A and B are shown apart, each in its own frame.
Chain A
Amino acid sequence: MEDKKIVDLYWLRNEAAIGESERKYGRMLRSLSFSLLSSHEDAEECVNDTYLDAWNAMPTARPDFLGAFLSKITRRISIDRFRAAHREKRGGLDTVVEELTDCVPSGDSVEKEYENGRLADALNRFLYQQSSEKRAMFIRRYFYSQSIAEIARALTTKESRVKVTLFRMRDALKQELEAQELL
């Protein structure tokens, strides 16, 4: 079923919307959550919570890209779960978080910038300045948590090139965030 029709089902408060979402995007969402949490059970719960969030968000939201919309919810829920459980165990996110520490200078509080949305705006600006290929590498790595090898295969390039590109992008992002006094 087309995304638009599924979104219409959400707006009509028709529960078939969840079944159709599961049929079309369930596997992808589970895979995304699993790549962050390394737990099948947690991934399953996150995906179920995703449908609940989507049900509550539509209406009023009317996403143009339902896959991206649901992916964002799954990712947010998975990261929240990771943070909550982090004292007890370490999940698949650790490597990605370690890499992202390269982007942030040490310093003061971050909550304020995070809450007022300036950080998201800066990230969008930064990404739109990059080439499509660089953006794809960055988002596959830090949004979808794909491994370097997976990215290299998908983009038909060498792993070393992906690593170097991501390293340079992290450095450039750090400079950008510092220049704007974010983070």
Chain B
Amino acid sequence: MMKRKKALYLLREIGNIDDRLVQEALLYRAGRASPRVLLVAACIAMSLLLVLGTFAVSMMSRKGEDSDAPQGGAPMQDHTQRVEALDEMLVSSRDSIAYTTVTSQSELEFFDGKAYVVWQYADSTGYCVSRALTAAEADALIRSAEGGSDVGINSPDPQCRVWILLGDGTVISPYLKSSAGNVGIGTLFDYDPELIPSQSFTSRLSDILS
């Protein structure tokens, strides 16, 4: 019992350590990757490029075959009228939207005072990062993130995980309800989706990334 009481005192006293240390702990980022890790990353990137290149060539040749086909087939689906889910938008426009990629969280800026959207495709271990948002864009995006609808019982798992970095260390996700327990500090967190992000969120993000 005495040890527990002491531990509580110690815990409380840890709250009196230097502000500089408290700040540093959140700002600290792991050191750069070793040359060996970089070599492995480069190999993976080359393999991905090869796969994507092969896929692109096969799609182009298929498109050529389709254009030779007679015009009496089924009508083309009008994708512009379809309400897209956030992850569908990110997946379908993967090659056309603007973003940078990082291989680990340590390369992300959590505390630079700027907001970013970060997402991770299910088939990738890296992270995609939007450009820095303006204050107005960040405000509008966060507001529209609050308009999501509850996840249904049979909803498929999203193909991406998405977070918003607010620039002061806090991290939220459009897939989670707004609450204190759904906020990360200086880290991207795993989550099970609670919300389907609103169409307005998807549209805004699409505009930002275009």
Contact = CB atoms under 8 A, between A and B. Distances in A.
Interface of A: 24-25, 27-28, 30-34, 40, 43-44, 63-65, 67-69, 71-72, 75-76, 79, 83, 93, 96-98, 100-101, 103-107, 110-111, 114, 117, 119-120, 123-124, 127-128, 132-133, 135-136, 138-140, 142-144, 146, 149-151, 153-157, 183
A139 B22 contact: yes
A136 B30 CA distance: 10
Interface in B1-34: 2-26, 28-30
Interface of B: 2-26, 28-30, 104-106, 166, 168-170, 172, 179-181, 183-190
Contact of A72 (B19, B24, B185, B190): B19
Nearest to B183: A31
Interface of A is mostly: helix
A110 B6 contact: yes
A98 B3 CA distance: 9
B8 A143 contact: no
Contacts of A140: 25-26, 186
Contacts, number: 164
Given A31-B183, A97-B11, A156-B30, A71 B24 contact: no
Contacts of A123: 13-14, 16-17
Contacts of A183: 6, 9-10
B183 A143 contact: no
Contacts of A67: 23, 168-169
A76 B10 contact: no
